[in-house]
Chain A
């Protein structure tokens, strides 16, 4: 199965700053079938990005995804207070679908 590694484990930033989160796969992700999710404490995950770079319905344009092959990035252009959360990447190009361990974005 494809193993996903996310870095950094924790990102401490201030509102208004830019956040750059990395997701690396142990082998190439087929057709860029890579998604990003946001999870806040006590809540279910929310789909942000699919196909490596397409925003899901209702997701603000400050969230963007990029990458292909084994290296993917989620960028939040300017952090809003509601963006402080844990972010997971998921590959769904190969079975079984697998998730990364997550990056926590917290307030500096």
Chain B
């Protein structure tokens, strides 16, 4: 079964750090680009960051640029998001998502994890 399982969320004070992980299974991980997409409580979806299949290319939303770092370890079938200088507005459910490899769907997300909750509060 194709599956993405996130972990590492929790409660952190403003200015603090967290590292999220996403464990992939059921597919050849290094065939795919991956992304993090977040959803604030009761709100819509926001793309946060993406990485290509070998980690050689990354991208970030302006809202997190310079504070968050995406990475991957293909040997461990894992995706990561290092989050520093956290702010209250970073409070959200963070989903890891697989980038589609269908030519017309490159940039859409065809598999999603259930998410891990990050709460930034003093």
Task: Check A50/B105 contact, CB under 8 A, given A88-B44, A100-B44.
Answer: yes
Tell me if A50 and B47 are in contact (CB < 8 A): no
Known contacts A45-B45, A88-B44; decide if A95 and B59 are in contact (CB<8 Å).
yes
Q: Contact partner of B44 among A46, A51, A95, A99, CB < 8 A?
A: A99
- Docked Cα-Cα span, A50 to B100, in Å, equals 10
| Nearest B-chain residue to A93, judged by Cβ | B107
CB-based contact B45/A35 at 8 Å: no
Interface size on B, residues (CB 8 A): 21
Smallest CB gap from A45: residue in B: B112
* Secondary structure dominating the interface of A: loop
In the bound complex, CA of A51 to CA of B61 (Å): 23
Per-position 1/0 for A2-45, Cβ under 8 A of B = 00000000000000000000000000000101010100000111
In the complex where A46-B112, A96-B59 touch, is A101 in contact with B44 (Cβ < 8 A)? Answer: yes
| Distance to closest chain A CB from B39 (angstroms) | 9
Chain A interface: which size bin? 20 to 34
B113 close to A (CB within 8 Å): yes
The answer to whether B105 touches A35 (Cβ under 8 A) is: yes
CA distance A96 to B48 in the complex (A): 9
Assess whether B75 is interfacial by the CB under 8 Å rule. Answer: no
Residue B110 is within 8 A (CB to CB) of chain A in the complex: yes
User: 30 A-B Cβ contacts within 8 A?
Assistant: A33-B104, A33-B107, A35-B105, A37-B45, A37-B109, A44-B114, A44-B115, A45-B95, A45-B109, A45-B112, A47-B100, A47-B108, A50-B100, A50-B102, A50-B104, A50-B108, A51-B104, A51-B105, A54-B104, A54-B105, A56-B105, A57-B110, A90-B45, A90-B109, A92-B107, A92-B108, A93-B107, A95-B59, A101-B44, A102-B44
